Structure 1
Amino acid sequence: MAIREQVQAELGNLPGAEKKIAHAFLANYPSIGLSTIAELAALAGASAPTVLRFVARLGFESYPDFQRRLRADVQAQLMSPLERARSSGPTTDNPALKASFANIAGNLEATLKAVPESEFETACELLSDSRSACCFVGGRFTDAVAGYMAAHLRIIRPGVRHFGGQTSTWRDQLLDIRPGDVAVLFDIRRYQSDLVRLGELLAERKARIILITDPWLSPIARSARVVLPCVVDADRTWDSSVTLLALAEAMIDRVSRAQAATAGTRMQTLEDIHWNRTPGL
């Protein structure tokens, strides 16, 4: 688990003074964590001993130990697919399919630990609010998951759309976003500047943003109401999207159950349209 993810997971358990340190760290990540103890303490309005207690609570023996891990996190976040391919471990004796599935199983287990149940429930409550429209969009690879999720939820509840087309048309589609609408954004490393800017524009229009990202957290986290980090490491050139899809399916199922009556009516109507072969549909 990345340090930033650890801090977020521990927020609810921290004493008041250490929580100040955590907030300062998250708001100024990663630069403040690479500064001195005194600078971090001053920014948070706390003491140096509080900083040391904070890093000890995260499982680090010393502040330099904390900083070494933070530098490794930042380096991992910035690695290109080519660099990841060069740094991946040697081929094991396990058959390729078995090794791949073992990695996926590990990612799923780690993601389950990384996503707080309370955040998951909050995200599903937002998506269950049929009074608000919701839109979905992702990046180069993750937009397929965004489209998949939108296609399912469109059947369950009204007001669902997928931001399609070229990125230059996203601003056009923003015209219909109203305060309180929900936006689900998928963004994993290397984060897309156009998606980050879209997140800022959505926040300006007072949309409630659900960010599905990786343990290093897309910059969209600054604008998000809910952040759900998924473990995507695949020990190969490209990151894995399996955990993103698994989380999307869990959310679809949760919203379906929350909207059982409405969803049932809409699905029955869809079945009637399908079997009656309604003209024009």
Structure 2
Amino acid sequence: MADDEHTIAERIRGNLESFTASEKRAAHALLAHYPMAGLETVAEFAARAGVSAPSVLRFVSRLGFVGYPDFQRALREELEAQLKTPLMKASPEPPGARGDRLGRFAAALRANLSETFAHLPDQEFEAATALIADRKRRVHLVGGRFTDALAAYMAAHLRILRPGVVHLSGQADTRRDQLLDIARHDVLVVFDVRRYQENMVALAAEVARRGGKVVLVTDQWLSPVARSATHILSARIEAPSNWDSNVALLALVEALVAAVTERLWPEARRRIEEIERLRQSL
């Protein structure tokens, strides 16, 4: 895939280790307020990042843009993509339309999987895995309208592997009640993709304020939850449909479950053996 087909967030995350110290500060400032920080003037962006205006311009150049206006144009296009509704996405072909519809859809999903794992930073993945596997921390999982099923799926696996796993289910009022039990140093895994949900953003911000760690699983444009996230894992979700695809997100969940299982295997094995014993007696 050509570099101009990658989001700016993907370019940053894929090249972060090669940036200079000032470029890293600019990168972190942008990711923390993505994409709005980059839509500010050069001087405003520089002040936010605590670097000089020339450093911002060098950062933009390192991302492959010929100038700041080109960089901002790309960010505005991404912002438009974030706000797309099902009515604004690709319309289904009329009944009887010629063409390999199933093949095109399968190709799009394969591309999503390939691009997701190609641009998933190893260090970020391992750090998120370590947090989720830390038995001293309780793990809480929550998702939005179309991603809460992923949160529940991941929670079902994690409960087999370790204690202290909670799926925050129900309406917003119920989640507020459950928030009372999230302690300092707990982990909140949030699933949030376009069109991002304000209640997810507010929940993550409150957990971070309480001293908890937030792991965000999101799309290539980054949910505003990124402002509160300790670690961010992004997946590609576009498909030739009015609807986005959760296939790459599910693959990312299963990769996390596999990695946590490996980290916790001695204890996880004992828990699985006990579960198998209970299956025979209950």
TM-score, scaled to structure 2: 0.91
> Are 2:31 and 1:3 equivalent residues in the alignment?
no
What is the aligned partner in structure 2 of residue 140 from structure 1?
145
- SS at 2:211 equivalent: coil
What is the aligned partner in structure 2 of residue 50 from structure 1?
55
- In the alignment, which of 159, 167, 170 is matched to residue 172 of structure 2? 167
User: Alpha carbon RMSD of aligned pairs, Å?
Assistant: 2.1
Aligned AA (1:134): V
Asked whether the 8 Å contact 2:60–2:68 carries over to 1, the reply is yes
Shift of 1:94: 4.4
Asked whether the 8 Å contact 1:199–1:220 carries over to 2, the reply is yes
1:221-277 C-alpha deviation (Å, 9 max, x unpaired): 111111001111113211100011100001111111111111111111111111123
> Are 2:209 and 1:204 equivalent residues in the alignment?
yes
What is the aligned partner in structure 2 of residue 14 from structure 1?
19
**CA 1:171–1:265 in structure 2 vs 1: closer, same or farther (change >3 Å)?**
same
1:186-231 C-alpha deviation (Å, 9 max, x unpaired): 0000011111111112112221111000111111111111100111
Asked whether the 8 Å contact 2:25–2:49 carries over to 1, the reply is yes
Shift of 1:62: 2.3
- SS at 2:232 equivalent: strand
**CA 1:31–1:154 in structure 2 vs 1: closer, same or farther (change >3 Å)?**
closer
Shift of 1:121: 0.4
- In the alignment, which of 222, 225, 238 is matched to residue 220 of structure 1? 225
Shift of 1:22: 2.2
- In the alignment, which of 127, 131, 153 is matched to residue 132 of structure 2? 127
Residue ranges of structure 2 left out of the alignment (5+ in a row) = 1-5
Shift of 1:45: 4.3
Aligned AA (2:263): A
Q: Distance in 2 between matches of 1:45 and 1:210?
A: 26
**CA 1:270–1:32 in structure 2 vs 1: closer, same or farther (change >3 Å)?**
closer
The number of residues matched between the two structures is 276
TM-score, scaled to structure 1: 0.91
Residue ranges of structure 1 left out of the alignment (5+ in a row) = none
- In the alignment, which of 257, 261, 264 is matched to residue 269 of structure 2? 264
What is the aligned partner in structure 1 of residue 236 from structure 2?
231
Q: Distance in 1 between matches of 2:110 and 2:255?
A: 16
Aligned AA (1:164): S
Asked whether the 8 Å contact 2:33–2:227 carries over to 1, the reply is no
Aligned AA (1:206): G
